[in-house]
């Protein structure tokens, strides 16, 4: 529901489909009946293709023009990267923080 706040009417249907997909993913409803292992179709626009540096590509996709907006709180309120493992979160955070000027 929070994905639709401030959403333009033209984007509402796409945002609603994404929210429904995300909810089904979280409730383990995707991939059919399974024993904990399932194949899930991820929407093409969410995939990172062949990349030599997928973390940088992910950061660039979710946070375009980062250095121009890093002082704008609302810029960060509208974006997030979710990861399933703390190790991945640490890798993303370390890379993300290294992009900012200063210490």
DSSP string, 28-94: T-TTSS-SS----PPPGGG---S-S-HHHHHHHHHSTTHHHHTT-HHHHHT-----SSHHHHHHHHH
Whole domain around residue 2: which residue ranges?
1-47
Q: What is the pLDDT of residue 32?
A: 77
Q: Are residues 52 and 35 in the same domain?
A: no
**What pLDDT tens digit does each residue of the chain (103 aa) get?**
455 566 667 778 887 888 888 888 878 788 777 777 788 888 887 787 888 998 999 899 899 999 999 888 888 888 889 888 899 999 999 998 898 888 7
Instruction: Report the distance separating Cα 22 and Cα 57, nearest Å.
Output: 21
* Structural domain total, the chain: 2
Q: Are residues 41 and 75 in the same domain?
A: no
Q: Are residues 6 and 33 in the same domain?
A: yes
Q: What is the pLDDT of residue 76?
A: 87
Q: Are residues 85 and 64 in the same domain?
A: yes
Q: Are residues 38 and 87 in the same domain?
A: no
Instruction: Report the distance separating Cα 52 and Cα 82, nearest Å.
Output: 20
Q: Are residues 41 and 54 in the same domain?
A: no
Q: What is the pLDDT of residue 93?
A: 93
Q: Are residues 81 and 69 in the same domain?
A: yes
Q: Are residues 41 and 82 in the same domain?
A: no
Q: Are residues 53 and 101 in the same domain?
A: yes
């Amino acid at each position: 529901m929070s994905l639709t706040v401030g959403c333009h009417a033209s984007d509402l249907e796409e945002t609603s489909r994404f929210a429904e997909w995300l909810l089904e993913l979280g409730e383990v409803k995707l991939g059919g009946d399974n024993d904990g292992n399932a194949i899930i179709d991820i929407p093409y626009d969410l995939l990172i293709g062949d990349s030599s540096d997928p973390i940088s590509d992910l950061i660039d996709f979710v946070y375009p023009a980062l250095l121009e907006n890093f002082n704008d709180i609302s810029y960060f309120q509208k974006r997030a990267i979710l990861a399933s493992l703390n190790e991945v979160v640490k890798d993303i955070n370390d890379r993300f923080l290294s992009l900012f000027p200063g210490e």
